Structure 1
Amino acid sequence: MENLLTGLRASAEPTRLRILALAARGSFCVMEFTEILGQSQPRLSRHLRLLCEAGLLDRVREGANVWFTLPDGGSPGGSLARAVVERLPEDDPMLAADRRQAARVLAERARIASESFRRTGADWDEMRALDLPASAVEQALLDLLPAGEIGRLLDIGTGTGRLLELLAPRVTAALGIDASRAMLALARARLSRPGLLHCAVRLADMYRLPLPDGGFDAVVLQMVLHYAEDPAGALAEAARVLRPGGGRLVVVDLAPHGRADCIDRLAHRWPGFSDEAMHDLFTRAGLIPGGVVAVPGPMDMRLWSASRAAEAVPADLFLEATR
């Protein structure tokens, strides 16, 4: 009861209610809250600290930046924060003005991110650059994942967040992780639209995911593994966060090819994967290999699926896979 009272006391202040309403629409940093709410940084920092201490906000550091967002709805603080936000009047003039200001800030964030990508030559999508059948791959992925509601989804190497956008209607919550801050800036801009507020992104290393064991019903790695120095380690970590007893992993990547330019120009670490190699990687990660879907194109692609058994991954097998 004390935790509930702490949360209620922390939210019982106009500015903090406005902050929660904004955080329900996406992640914001302190400077963005300052611009939207028109208040000083020291004052807002105090409000943010109180909300975080009460468990109503999550504070995620990415290098020099700190992002604030609502916790997962499964946590006590996250469920309370969402319950409070749901009871805020949609037609409140102050909240409506905050939403307008937030839309302007998000648009500016997307513009800056896009300009940064163009300056660094990173404003491109790999599947488009290789002329791969993106639409066919996306449809195959939708068909391969469990029918109906998927549950909690993790997209490893989310890039600009396209897969989160695609799968949003079928998940209860989704998280995309990437090691590129520039990619995450574009992903946040993409996910700021209505209908995508249950999707979030964060900076993370795919070999050391800052996530609990068994927390996701589905995990996807699309066009990621051919860059991995240690594919076995990446898949072992993906298996760790997959729900035991039926959690589904899908790897989308290139079939074996002889394109030397992918190694030289695009810095691919591996020239595609054979079905046998992927089967072996899944087995080493303690996963049960499933179906394989082939998508022909200028470079053939594969979608490999696997599931996690009810028992945990054996420790010695996990260690071997992560060496």
Structure 2
Amino acid sequence: MADELKLSVDDTLAALRAVGESTRLRLIALLSESELTVKDATAILGQSQPRISRHLKLLAEAGLILRFPEGSWVYYRLADGPAADAARDLICRISKDDPVLTGDRERFQAIRKAKAEEAAAYFAAKAKTWDTERSLHAADSDVEKALLAALGDKPFQSFLDLGTGTGRLLELLSSRYTSALGIDASHDMLSVARANLARSGLSNAQVRHGDIYALNVPPRSFDVVAVHQVLHFLDDPARALAEAARALRPGGRLLIIDFAPHELEFLRETHAHRRLGFGHDQMRRWVEALDLEMEQVTDLAPQTDNDTKLTVTLWLARDPRIVTDLPLANTTREVA
């Protein structure tokens, strides 16, 4: 392991002091399985909100966990890096039959189940509207098959899904990426996505509330960025694509899936569509203006020849900058 990925003596002692308390150790054990809110942790551990908040603050100050504000809530998760890795290793060495941690896990699962039921109720309430829209275009299975074919079988490190909705792409591509982040502006949709990820057991994918026009992610940090059936809801699609391109690593790929141009005006009124599809030339201009190269364009026409049916188009673009792999001692990536 490279030296920068190891802890100094002082950092090791700081990490051990941070977890060397019953409540904080229990919190780390929970966060090693999933992200939590203060409300979740309070219900699971049976302690007051101020007490839980104080312990979470200490863990965050020690660099073991990260906090992500989302509206009036804050989600916590384990951080990346050697200190958090040491905490994970410590949790792995505790007996799985420990009665305290077993009780915490059982209460956590009960909370997850309740959230999944709430998310299912929300999804059911929206299903009629979504089913109407899905009936207008190629089957979701065909679109997903084309998406997988476009990306190929080669695994990649990091995936960003903009407008993640129910988190479907995070699930679909779970075997391809090492880590993933889904971003959506809808708190209700994020509740659905979290329930779906928990049900699928995907601990390497997270979802966050965010603005597609102002992404709170580091530049050049994702190998694949997807914008799936999102652009037609936006007033300024080009601006959203610029943010997506900013997040791409050199050599990274931008996957856009949306409707081809159509004349179904009722979608503006009943489905909140702002744009009635996008043409090949228009998308190519936007992509090339971002210094990306269009690699593939695929049209998926509806199975029936009907003026009320929509064609789905898949555009795949790549950042042409070249990535030079550096020696093992230096894990940063540079543009050649």
TM-score norm. by structure 2 comes to 0.85
**Whole-Å separation in 2 of the counterparts to 1:217 and 1:124:** 35
Instruction: Call closer, same or farther: CA 1:136–1:117 in 2, change over 3 Å.
Output: closer
Alignment of 1:31-180 (within 5 A): 31-71=39-79, 73=80, 75-116=81-122, 122-123=126-127, 126=130, 129-131=133-135, 132=137, 133-180=139-186
Q: Which moved more, 1:75-84 or 1:90-99?
A: 75-84
Partner residue, 2:221: 215
Partner residue, 1:250: 255
**Deviation, structure 1 residue 287:** 1.1
Partner residue, 1:287: 292
Q: Per-residue displacement from partner, 1:182-231 (whole Å, max 9, x unpaired)? A: 11111111111353011110100011111101111110010001111111
**Deviation, structure 1 residue 77:** 4.2
- Amino acid of the structure 1 residue aligned with 2:321: A
**Deviation, structure 1 residue 310:** 1.7
Alignment of 1:231-246 (within 5 A): 231-244=237-250, 246=251
Partner residue, 1:183: 189
**Whole-Å separation in 2 of the counterparts to 1:86 and 1:194:** 21
**Whole-Å separation in 2 of the counterparts to 1:140 and 1:61:** 35
Partner residue, 2:282: 277
Contact kept? 2:257, 2:313, Cα under 8 Å: yes
Contact kept? 2:159, 2:223, Cα under 8 Å: yes
Contact kept? 2:164, 2:182, Cα under 8 Å: yes
**Deviation, structure 1 residue 106:** 0.9
Contact kept? 2:258, 2:312, Cα under 8 Å: yes
1:12 alignment partner, one of 20, 24, 44: 20
- Amino acid of the structure 1 residue aligned with 2:66: D
2:268 alignment partner, one of 235, 252, 263: 263
**Whole-Å separation in 2 of the counterparts to 1:288 and 1:80:** 42
Instruction: Call closer, same or farther: CA 1:180–1:17 in 2, change over 3 Å.
Output: same
2:233 alignment partner, one of 220, 227, 230: 227
Instruction: Call closer, same or farther: CA 1:248–1:126 in 2, change over 3 Å.
Output: farther
Contact kept? 1:155, 1:175, Cα under 8 Å: yes
**Whole-Å separation in 1 of the counterparts to 2:230 and 2:104:** 38
**Deviation, structure 1 residue 69:** 1.2
**Deviation, structure 1 residue 128:** 6.0
Q: Which has the larger radius of gyration?
A: 2
Aligned-residue sequence identity (percent) comes to 43
Moved over 6 A (4+): none
**Whole-Å separation in 2 of the counterparts to 1:275 and 1:86:** 51
1:205 alignment partner, one of 199, 202, 211: 211
- Amino acid of the structure 2 residue aligned with 1:307: R
2:315 alignment partner, one of 270, 280, 304: 304
**Deviation, structure 1 residue 52:** 0.9
**Whole-Å separation in 1 of the counterparts to 2:259 and 2:162:** 16
Contact kept? 1:29, 1:66, Cα under 8 Å: yes
**Whole-Å separation in 2 of the counterparts to 1:193 and 1:84:** 26
Contact kept? 2:171, 2:200, Cα under 8 Å: no
Q: Which moved more, 1:39-48 or 1:213-222?
A: 39-48
Q: Per-residue displacement from partner, 1:1-40 (whole Å, max 9, x unpaired)? A: 2333322221122221221121122221111111111222
**Whole-Å separation in 1 of the counterparts to 2:320 and 2:85:** 30
Q: Which moved more, 1:291-300 or 1:98-107?
A: 291-300
Contact kept? 1:27, 1:67, Cα under 8 Å: yes
Contact kept? 1:128, 1:134, Cα under 8 Å: no
